[in-house]
Chains A and B, each alone.
Chain A
Amino acid sequence: MVNGPGPRLPPILRPAAAAAALLALLLPALGLPAGGANDPAPPPPADPSGRVRFDHARHAAHQPDCSACHRPTPPETAPGAATPAPDFERPREADCTGCHPFERPAPGPRTATADPEVCALCHPVDAAGRLALPAVAPRFPALAFDHRRHEDAAGAPCTACHDPARIAGGVPPPMTRCMTCHDDALEGGCARCHLHDARGRLTLRRPGRPELRPPAWMGDLAHVEDFARQHGVPARTRRDVCASCHEPSFCEGCHLGEAIERRFHPAGWLSAHGPASRGADLDCNTCHRGQETCLSCHRRAGLTLDSPRLGRDVPRGSSVHGESWALRPELHAREARRNLGSCVSCHTGRDCVTCHAVVRPHGPDWNQRCSGLLATSPQTCAACHTRRPDCR
């Protein structure tokens, strides 16, 4: 038995409703026609959705408050998203059972429903006596699904997809159930069921609905909490799947620093980013570029030799790196050889020339590889060498 709360009438209408109910009980006793199963009137027409038969006039006579059944629903549009057929602007079955209590066991095959006539009270039937079920069920992340088409093609009972124990809660079958037949979904077939735009990319967000994300069973495609750090492999090897939802420009938002991304670094990152960047230069380079991201901020903060704040907020002559840093090659040269990329986050080439114009910076095998640089960019060599270097 499905028991739901009855419609709440405004106080002013309750006496009228009571009188109408009493009249409905008395009319059959007086031999006069009344509403109900014995009503000889023709069945009400199907509503515009084609899903249920419903006579608004008859119901309005009993319940003039439309909001008793119809719940206000916000517009179902999102930027770039297709608009599904409205589904919940109309009352749900639970709204009907408040006044029309009936038993509906867990649905099995359509023709094996416990009492098809009960269902047919509201749902229209076709020539074969089968109920018309919704063509679209977009409650959980926007889906486009054709019940009739699946039934026609496969002759499948409802329980082939639906778990009888869960359907009462409006829970759709899991996607893994779909893939028992549609096993190409992961190869780009997402838009077969999911809402998509005109170019075939899926609609990820719709108002009032959970954001569409790959579920956990999809393995490396699952957008788990730490996916921002783990998406490298699928992004490289399964670009076609990524393109089902994301445009190529989506990547630029982070990888080119197009916009400030607030979700990647932990709290207080500014205080700890220095040591971390020394040990994870490749990771930093994924989104940041040393002489754009690092240098621009370090200049404003007075950490670079050409910073406008050097000499005012930051005393000239002081060293970020401590005493003797520049004079001891086992310190600064070692770090430069280890990871020169971190040096350019503060320094420009001219900083190096200040000393290295007179202190030889070249390694032991420099003469074997300097000819290429000399050929393509002799002005680099001319920064220190007054005569053309002897490169072989």
Chain B
Amino acid sequence: MSRATRDLPSRSAPIIRRPPPSSAQSVRRASHPQPRRHPLRLPGVAANVRAVYDAPVPAKVPRLPPRLPPTPSAVVAAFAAALCTAPPASAARVRIESRTGALAYPVIGRDGAVVLDERLVQTTLRLGIDDLLQVPADSPDPAREPDIAIHASLRWFADPGVAGEATDPANLAFVPFAQDMALEVLRAHVAATNLLDGWLDLRAGRLLHDGPLGWRSDDGAEVRFDPLPWLGLTVAGGFENLRGLRLAGSSFAPEGLERWSAEGEGAERYDGHAAPEHRPTVQAILDGRLGPVGWAAAYRRTWRSLDGGTAEELVGWQVDGGWGPLAAFTSARVDLTAGLFADATAELAARLDGGRHRIEARYDYFRPTFDAESLFWVFAADPFHELTLRYGFPLAGALRGEAWVAARHVRGGERDAPTRLLGPITDLGGGAGLTLRIETFSSSLRWKLLRGATTDLAGADWTVRVPLAGRWELLAVASAWQWNDLLRDRGYGVGGAGRAGAAVDVVDGVRLAAEAQVAHDTREGTTFALFAWLDLGVAW
């Protein structure tokens, strides 16, 4: 066979004559660098394949009705789906997916007694509606046709194990808001993409941003201008999303302050909160790709709504590239509020012998950063430097090995003399592992050792997965550990645990998994735990 097959001529008549695809071939671009034009979506190249597979589902194939857990999030999502897909339903593609987890396990206190019987239930529900705009049948490039999409992710969390006490104001364990740990909107936005001949993308709603500054969340809007292959500009503005679970802060806001409203009886028992705010924020990201090198630079500033002061100001950048067997990545983030480098990373990876040998070297510089109002700034004095070397290699057939070593160093010495603190701190770590994955079996065996100034840890775990009959998966995990923690009052433990479980695709779009665990630790005794997950998914 010659290379001429790469440029196969487009057939004048497809193999199976069916109506032209009604779905847009658009690609949602995130704020981070993304391929502008997917090579496979170029007209003509995959037209024949699309003609076969993008056709409507045959009438004889039953379409599964939506099967959602009876939770508030499911009701809300179904309602939103019904509203949003009404006018152009014939062109839209709808996906609803959910994962419901139920976990039951004890939490052992430092005196060895059970302090909490966790009974956690968490439901995450994702909704995606794409291709609300139909692609013209004669479009020369469906990938660049305008599209409108709606995406949302909701999470509902409950802790029935603590709810009985937590909802009783007369009980010492009363937790404000525990009775309404309800819906959390992780993201929900409308996106209009490929406007102005593919140069302009718009998003509005609760957005997630990923880029040199890490994951951030805002309630607002985002505009992406994509004029050149090596240059794209994303500007976002709105209000920083600070709300998180009632017992904790937001997943996205800086550490150090919790900004949820503490009201109601018993709320005074919590003293870690600050006044709730709606803090305006702006963010801009420049990114692009020059040949094998991708780059991005970002700036973000957030103001306090109470007095207009700066709550956070960050700049960051990252560069990645790949040259044959080498890949490199580097990033840095500067907190302008405090005038210091927050973190920096440089990573170099080599893939030799067709990827069979992997060598990675990574350097991390890290200094914790916090909300501008957090007192932790006062104590965040020294950064730490961490170097990790990792080597993956083939052993025999599908059996692979891996070894790694790491060192973490905190500068000290002369600077610490006035405060009588000890000198430099160095932690060392290392580990090794074996992995095996074949069609009918996969397994991994890992061993890890950390030798630190205040903490030692040695542990190993062995995982085995066996798929069966295309629908089942069996799982077994065994672990053993030994640790010595000089920073705790009962700081020594030896233990082991075993877990077994199974997952099954009940029907198409319904997956059920359950696991049971028994563990024994010299400090905690013997404990049992049960876990179960239900994954649901429908699409039409």
Task: Say whether, besides A291-B248, A291-B256, A352-B379, A262 and B32 are in contact (CB < 8 Å).
Answer: no
User: Does B72 lie at the interface of the complex (its beta carbon under 8 Å from any beta carbon of A)?
Assistant: no
Give the residues in chain B near A390, CB-CB below 8 Å: none
Contact with B along A294-307 (1 / 0, CB 8 A): 01110111110010
Taken together as a complex, chains A and B put the C-alpha atoms of A376 and B336 apart, in Å, by 10
Tell me the minimal C-beta distance from B71 to chain A in angstroms: 14
Among A189, A233, A257, A320, find the residue whose CB has the most chain B CB atoms closer than 10 A.
A233
Task: Say whether, besides A161-B1, A224-B400, A267 and B456 are in contact (CB < 8 Å).
Answer: no
Contact with B along A230-256 (1 / 0, CB 8 A): 101110111110011001110111011
Taken together as a complex, chains A and B put the C-alpha atoms of A226 and B322 apart, in Å, by 23
Those of A62-107 within 8 Å (CB) of chain B: 74-86
User: Does A350 lie at the interface of the complex (its beta carbon under 8 Å from any beta carbon of B)?
Assistant: yes
Tell me the minimal C-beta distance from B33 to chain A in angstroms: 7
Taken together as a complex, chains A and B put the C-alpha atoms of A315 and B495 apart, in Å, by 26
| Interface pair B376/A340, CB less than 8 Å apart | yes
Tell me the minimal C-beta distance from B449 to chain A in angstroms: 10
| Interface pair A248/B28, CB less than 8 Å apart | yes
Partner-contacting stretch, out of B78-86, B170-178, B220-228, B230-238: B170-178
| Interface pair B215/A255, CB less than 8 Å apart | yes
Taken together as a complex, chains A and B put the C-alpha atoms of A309 and B210 apart, in Å, by 37
Least CB separation from A344: chain B residue: B255
Partner-contacting stretch, out of A9-17, A27-35, A52-60, A144-152: A144-152
Among A74, A196, A340, find the residue whose CB has the most chain B CB atoms closer than 10 A.
A340
| Interface pair B162/A300, CB less than 8 Å apart | yes
Interface size on B, residues (CB 8 A): 206
Tell which of A86, A320, A352, A361 touches B110, judged by Cβ atoms closer than 8 Å: A320
Task: Say whether, besides A356-B378, A361-B379, A210 and B477 are in contact (CB < 8 Å).
Answer: no
| Interface pair A272/B442, CB less than 8 Å apart | no
| Interface pair B433/A262, CB less than 8 Å apart | no
| Interface pair B53/A82, CB less than 8 Å apart | yes
Task: Say whether, besides A84-B53, A268-B495, A348-B272, A321 and B439 are in contact (CB < 8 Å).
Answer: no
Those of A323-370 within 8 Å (CB) of chain B: 323, 325, 329-331, 333-341, 343-344, 348-350, 352-353, 356, 361-365, 369
Among A154, A207, A292, A353, find the residue whose CB has the most chain B CB atoms closer than 10 A.
A292
| Interface pair A189/B39, CB less than 8 Å apart | yes
User: Does A110 lie at the interface of the complex (its beta carbon under 8 Å from any beta carbon of B)?
Assistant: no
| Interface pair B115/A270, CB less than 8 Å apart | no
| Interface pair A217/B309, CB less than 8 Å apart | no
Those of B482-513 within 8 Å (CB) of chain A: 483-485, 487-489, 491, 493, 495-499, 505, 508-509, 513
Taken together as a complex, chains A and B put the C-alpha atoms of A267 and B488 apart, in Å, by 23
**How big is chain A's contact interface, by range?**
35 or more
User: Does B219 lie at the interface of the complex (its beta carbon under 8 Å from any beta carbon of A)?
Assistant: no
Give the residues in chain A near B23, CB-CB below 8 Å: 197-199
| Interface pair A135/B375, CB less than 8 Å apart | no
Tell me the minimal C-beta distance from B110 to chain A in angstroms: 6
User: Does A18 lie at the interface of the complex (its beta carbon under 8 Å from any beta carbon of B)?
Assistant: no
Task: Say whether, besides A271-B519, A350-B271, A361-B379, A200 and B38 are in contact (CB < 8 Å).
Answer: yes
Give the residues in chain A near B124, CB-CB below 8 Å: 253, 258-259
Taken together as a complex, chains A and B put the C-alpha atoms of A97 and B521 apart, in Å, by 62
User: Does A2 lie at the interface of the complex (its beta carbon under 8 Å from any beta carbon of B)?
Assistant: no
Taken together as a complex, chains A and B put the C-alpha atoms of A198 and B55 apart, in Å, by 10
Contact with B along A204-215 (1 / 0, CB 8 A): 000111100000
Give the residues in chain A near B12, CB-CB below 8 Å: none
Give the residues in chain A near B244, CB-CB below 8 Å: 292
Q: What 8 new A-B contacts, CB under 8 Å, besides A266-B463, A267-B477, A292-B250?
A: A240-B35, A259-B155, A267-B498, A278-B485, A292-B244, A333-B421, A337-B410, A365-B415
Q: Can you list 28 A-B pairs with a CB-CB distance of less than 8 A?
A: A83-B55, A149-B48, A182-B6, A190-B40, A191-B40, A191-B49, A200-B41, A207-B505, A225-B437, A249-B153, A272-B459, A279-B457, A302-B109, A306-B270, A308-B266, A309-B172, A314-B115, A320-B489, A325-B487, A334-B454, A344-B255, A344-B376, A349-B257, A349-B374, A361-B378, A362-B378, A373-B377, A376-B313
